Amino acid sequence: MTKLYGSVEAGGTKFVCAVGNSEFEVIAKTQFPTTTPEETLEKVIAFFKPYEELEAVAVGSFGPIDIDETSPTYGYVTKTPKPYWSHVDMIGPLKEALQVPFYFTTDVNSSAYGEVIARDGVENLVYYTIGTGIGAGAYQHGEFVGGIGHTEMGHTYLMKHPSELDFRGVCPFHDGCLEGLAAGPSLEARTGIRGENIPLESDVWEKQAFYIAQAAIQATMMFRPEVIVFGGGVMAQEHMVKLVHYHFLRLLNDYLPIPAIEEYIVTPAVPNNGSATLGNFALAMKVADQSQD
């Protein structure tokens, strides 16, 4: 009997669910809008229910979330700005309905693990999603970086660009954090134009790259990774990686040795935003094996 594994990318805008085999091949996939917890989780359960061969499921979720397995609120979304989802038990209802082991982590940790799987020999990697929000996951020598909870690297404070010292950013919690200054909505807040419609020659892209390069500097100084991957809609703009390279090298100022910049700061190796699905399949396989020990 073929063993199957489940992936749930639980995003603030949409959920993406997939079933795959031990070769990481996608057998089935669906997506639907993130609405209320009850309606959304019912759709997740309905998608996986027909697969009797399902061994385990990994969920990579928007956050903040409680990933401490000793905590009474393990598996919960905690204090989130996403309407209806604060203090919601995500894993409990899924586990009760499907009766298989679950692995619960952040969406960016899932993507980071997928990128590790896709890159032969890489053991130390940091993955950032630069989209509607910003999150990051760090993976080092077989473990995700974190302590009493997961990292929140999207909310580290940055040096503001000299031309916009009065720009607060769009984060409702922090004045001048990475998400507030460099997530997709910050483009529209500055220009009044959605990011995909802003001309390539606009100087707003240079400001974005300045902030994203600072995230890469932080990751370099704190984790010394082999690779830093930037995914998400903002980085889909082809010119952005080169702008980030320029600002990163200028800010680093030869302080530390790094690999060749074109191999060090990159976009995802897994096509079609598939990093999280690949990572979740691998994490589901891991938790299935652990449950049988």
- The full length of the chain comes to 293
On whether the CB atoms of residues 59 and 94 are closer than 8 A, the answer is: yes
Distances (CA, A) of 7 to 85, 175, 275: 20, 35, 11
How many angstroms separate the CA atoms of 179 and 203, rounded? Answer: 19
Residue 293 — very low, low, confident or very high, per pLDDT cuts 50/70/90?
low
- Give residues with Cβ within 8 angstroms of 6, minimum separation 6: 17, 18, 19, 48, 51, 54, 56, 57, 58, 100, 280, 284
81 vs 106 pLDDT, higher one:
106
243-260 pLDDT tens trace: 999 999 999 999 999 999
Rounded to an integer, the average pLDDT of 54-64 is 95
Which DSSP string corresponds to 97-125?
A: HH-S-EEEEEHHHHHHHHHHHHSTT--EE
pLDDT value, residue 216: 98
Whether the per-residue pLDDT at 272 is higher than 90: the answer is no
Over residues 207-223, the pLDDT tens digits come to 999 999 999 999 999 99
Average the pLDDT over 73-84 and give the result: 90
pLDDT above 90 coverage of the chain, percent: 81
Mean pLDDT, range 48-72, rounded to an integer: 95
Above 80 in pLDDT, residue 148?
Answer: no
Q: How confident is the model at residue 117, as a pLDDT?
A: 96
The answer to whether the pTM exceeds 0.85 is yes
Q: Is the per-residue pLDDT at 89 higher than 90?
A: yes
Q: Distances from the Cα of 270 to the Cαs of 112, 147, 278, in angstroms?
A: 11, 28, 8
Strand stretches in the chain, DSSP E: 4-10, 14-21, 26-33, 54-61, 76-77, 88-89, 102-106, 124-130, 134-140, 143-144, 227-231, 265-266
**Is 232 a residue whose pLDDT tops 70?**
yes
133 pLDDT higher than 90:
no
Q: What's the mean pLDDT in 98-127? A: 96
Structure confidence at residue 284 (pLDDT):
98
pLDDT-based confidence at 234, cuts 50/70/90? confident
Give me the residue label for tokens 């999603």: 129
Confidence at 98, pLDDT banded by 50, 70, 90: very high
Q: Which domains does the chain have, with CATH numbers?
A: 4-107+272-292 (3.30.420.40), 120-266 (3.30.420.40)
21-25, 108-112, 197-201, 286-290, range with the lowest pLDDT = 197-201
Mean pLDDT of the chain: 94
